[in-house]
Each structure stands twice: as structure tokens, then as C-alpha cells.
Amino acid sequence: MGSVRSHRYSIVSSEEDGMKLATIAVPNGYGNGNVNKVHGEHQHQSRFVRKDGHCNVHFINMSEKGQRYLADIFTTCVDIRWRWMLLIFCLSFLLSWLFFGLVFWLVALTYGDLENETQICVSNVDSFTAAFLFSVETQTTIGYGYRYVTEECPIAVFMVVFQSIVGCIIDAFIIGAVMAKMAKPKKRNETLVFSHYATVAMRDGKLCLMWRVGNLRKSHLVEAHVRAQLLKSRTTAEGEFIPLDQVDIDVGFDSGIDRIFLVSPITIVHEIDEDSPFYEMSKQELETSEFEIVVILEGMVEATAMTTQCRSSYVASEILWGYRFEPVLFEEKNYYKVDYSRFDNTYEVPSTPQCSARELAERRSNTSSLRNSFCYENEVALEKVEMEEELEEEGNREMRSVEVDALEDRISDAGSDEEHNLDSLPLESRPLTAESEI
């Protein structure tokens, strides 16, 4: 099998090519030593999305926050931390046991079961501890058989039925919230990784922005697709300041290239064309700009069929101009091998233009126009030469025809003179012509 790429995002190479690239890059895995120096001078920029995918946003001055969160208590229980979830889990059962234990103790106190040896409502409940144990046995359906409700107290029978219903509701809510929290695909993001740096280099004759994504598990991410957005402050024509304006970055949504088959690490490519927000940005402008690129990977977890989203971001200092990623997928005899030690490694491409994509396109258009004008001038000169040659040939033909006509006239005149001379001679003096000559 060859190393031909069938997909724009796929990279398959041999071990030998990988070793060649490994000799180019230094051991730190990020090209030459000037990378950290160039980007280290850039001032610190606050992130909207951290490298681990968490949004660096804090909400303040929210009115009725508690009421709004309690109105959606199930989502609140699913979103809170596990420590608080376990606390709610334990308190929900303990408080319900204590509440119904108190109710049964009050019923026993009302009917005098605490003072009499024979209980009317609940047998063998003569203290609060006994009432609490009876509440636990009723709600958990343990039923040891020592404490039970008699038929002579309807209020106790009603409370037993009511506690059983409330216990089922609590079980359904708490267990459902715990299961939903356990089944959340949020931890699946721990095995979905983005490259630490993004790169800018030429690909298929175009200047492209590239970053790499990988899946550390063998289980697939179904319907995986990628998205990217540029976050940058700007001022409108009316003078309005927008602190974080969000602009979509095209990674092949219209053509369907944004949908990927994430089995091995894939390099995501954004072509810097006329519709790209980086069309007029050169390397020098990149080093002084302040923006953030938020990259998103979405898909369904194969085991649970739940949608997961993995996020990361790149600031201007994390974009390497003139670098490419080293190959990580190598072809063996009967299988393909992925080397994740090369996942973040890059190597320098000195031939990468330092200008913007717009300037590069203008240079190419000027070069093509010069070539076209040069070809047009050559065609005009060639046509002129051909016309001159045709005119010269016509003149030569006319001269030859005149010469031929003059020669024919001379020959005809000479023949007529000779006949006239023969006619003037006497018969016996005329030359005899042999028959063979005739």
C-alpha cells in the first residue's frame, strides 16, 4: 500500500519518513528553539475557554438564582459535584425516615401507646427510637416482623401507605439523578485530545491553519464532527464595542469535510481564503494580535449513544507560523501504528510565505497577468512575421510568373523567326528530315 492520501485530513507515512522528520525537530517536540522565544515575548492574554475545555466565565449579580436552580432541581442535581450529590442522596433518605418516625411517635403518643403495655396503633413502638426503626423498616420494605401496624388505628395505616409512596418517589428521583450523572459523557472528553499548538503552513498551494485531534480509546466516536470559532474584540461602524465577537471558522461544513472518522489522529485544516477572518493577517500581525480560536469536537459515545462535546482553544501565541505536524500514523506489514509521542511534535517549513494570504494571492495574480501579456505580445509578433513572409512569397510568385511569361514570349518569337527563314529558302536547299526524327 502506498502513502497516497484519500482524505484531506488523513496522514499515512512510512517509518523512514517519520525518522527523517524526527531528525529535523529538537527533543522538546516543537520545532527549533526559537518557537518558545518568539511566542514567549507575547503578553499574557485571558482565555475565554481554557485548554482543558472549561469556560473561564463567572456569573455575578444574578437575580433569583436559587429559585431558578430549584425550579430545575433534576438538572441541578446532575450538574453539581459528586460530593454534594452524595450529601443530597444521604440526606433525602435520612430526613424522610426521621420525619415519618416523628409522625409515628406522635401517633403513638396521641393514642397512649407510649404509656400502655398494649399498643393500639403500632405494636411494640413505645419510644422515639422504636418509631424511627419502624419508619426505616416501612420505607425500605425490610419488615422484621416485630413492629407492625394494627387494624384498630386508621391513621397509622394511612401513614404507612403514604410513606411507601413517598419512598418510591424519592428512590426514583435520587437513583435517576445518580444514574444520569454517572452516564454523563463528560468524562469521555478525558480521552479526546487536541494538540497543544496550532500551525500555519502551505497545503495544496494554499495557506492553511491546522490543528490536530485524537481519540485515545479504541471505541469510536459516532458522527464525529468539528467546529471552530474566532473570538476577538472589535468596534462596529457605529462605535459600539463588542468585547468578544464570535466569527465562524470554516473547516469544511459546506463540503462535509468537517465530519471525520476519528480512529487515528487527524489534522483539521482551515483554508485561509477570501472568506477567512485571517485573510489579511501576516506573520508579523499574528505575533501582535489578540484573539482566541475555540475548537470544538462533537460526537456520540458508542457505548451510551449520548452526545459529548470536547473543547479547547488557541491564543495567538500558540499558533506557529511556518510549521507542520509530524506524522503519527505509520504503515506496518499487516496493520497501522499510531505513535502518540509525536502527537504534539512539529517541524519547521522554511518555504512558508511570511505575508498574508491576500498578498500571496495578489502576487500570484500579478505573475499570471505578466505571463499572459508576454504570451499576447509573442503572438502578435509571430502573426506579423507570418504576414510578412506571406507577402514576400506572393511577390516572389508574381516575379516568377512575369519571368516565365517573358521567356515564353521569347521562345515563341524565336520559333516564328525560324519558320519564316525556312519558308524563304528554296525547296532543294531545305534540310531533309528523317522519318525517325519525325
SS3 annotation, 279-325: CCCCHHHHHHCCCEEEEEEEEEECCCCCEEEEEEEEEHHHEEECEEE
Cell matching residue 299: 460526537
Between residues 418 and 100, the one the model is more confident about? 100
pLDDT given at position 408: 64
Residue 116: pLDDT over 70: yes
* Interval 101-122 mean pLDDT: 86
Q: Which amino acid is at 301?
A: V
pLDDT given at position 389: 74
pLDDT given at position 268: 94
Tens of pLDDT, residues 121-162: 888 888 899 999 999 999 988 877 888 888 888 899 999 999
- Sequence-ordered list of residues with C-beta below 8 angstroms from that of 219, at least 6 positions apart, any chain: 301, 302, 303
pLDDT given at position 192: 93
Burial class (CB within 10 angstroms; exposed 0-12, middle 13-18, buried 19+) of 2: exposed
Phi, psi of 183 (to 5 degrees): -85, 0
Q: Report which of 199, 251, 187, 196 is spatially closest to residue 224, judged by C-alpha positions.
A: 251
* Run of H or E including 66: helix 65-71
Q: How many residues does the chain have?
A: 438
* Interval 375-399 mean pLDDT: 67
* Interval 252-264 mean pLDDT: 89
Tens of pLDDT, residues 2-18: 444 444 444 444 444 44
pLDDT given at position 403: 64
The answer to which of 175-184, 219-228, 231-240, 410-419 has the lowest mean pLDDT is 410-419
Tens of pLDDT, residues 338-373: 999 999 999 999 999 999 889 988 888 887 665 554
Tens of pLDDT, residues 423-437: 554 544 444 444 444
Percentage of the chain exceeding pLDDT 70 = 77
Q: Report which of 95, 279, 306, 360 is spatially closest to residue 189, judged by C-alpha positions.
A: 306
* Alpha carbon separation from 223 to 88, 193, 324, 398 (Å, rounded): 36, 17, 27, 82
* Alpha carbon separation from 325 to 46, 196, 257, 294, 350 (Å, rounded): 26, 11, 19, 19, 14
d(CA 156, CA 103): 9
* Cell 472528553 belongs to residue: 189
* Interval 75-79 mean pLDDT: 88
Helices (H), 111-182: 128-139, 154-182
- Sequence-ordered list of residues with C-beta below 8 angstroms from that of 93, at least 6 positions apart, any chain: 139, 170, 174
Mean pLDDT, rounded, of the chain:
80
Residue 266: pLDDT over 80: yes
Contacts 24+ apart (CB under 8 A), 130-137: 131/101, 131/102, 131/104, 131/105, 132/97, 132/98, 132/101, 132/105, 133/101, 134/101, 134/104, 135/97, 135/98, 135/100, 135/101, 135/103, 135/104, 135/163, 136/97, 136/101
Residue 94: pLDDT over 90: yes
**Could you count the other beta carbons within 10 Å of the beta carbon of residue 192?**
22
pLDDT given at position 415: 54
- Sequence-ordered list of residues with C-beta below 8 angstroms from that of 332, at least 6 positions apart, any chain: none
d(CA 30, CA 269): 19
Cell matching residue 328: 503519527
Tens of pLDDT, residues 273-301: 999 999 999 999 998 889 999 999 999 98
Burial class (CB within 10 angstroms; exposed 0-12, middle 13-18, buried 19+) of 27: exposed
d(CA 279, CA 93): 61
Percentage of the chain exceeding pLDDT 90 = 40
Q: Which amino acid is at 38?
A: V
Tens of pLDDT, residues 213-233: 999 998 889 999 999 999 999
In 3-state terms, what secondary structure has residue 153? coil
Angle between helices 82-110 and 154-182 (to 10 degrees): 180
* Interval 250-255 mean pLDDT: 88
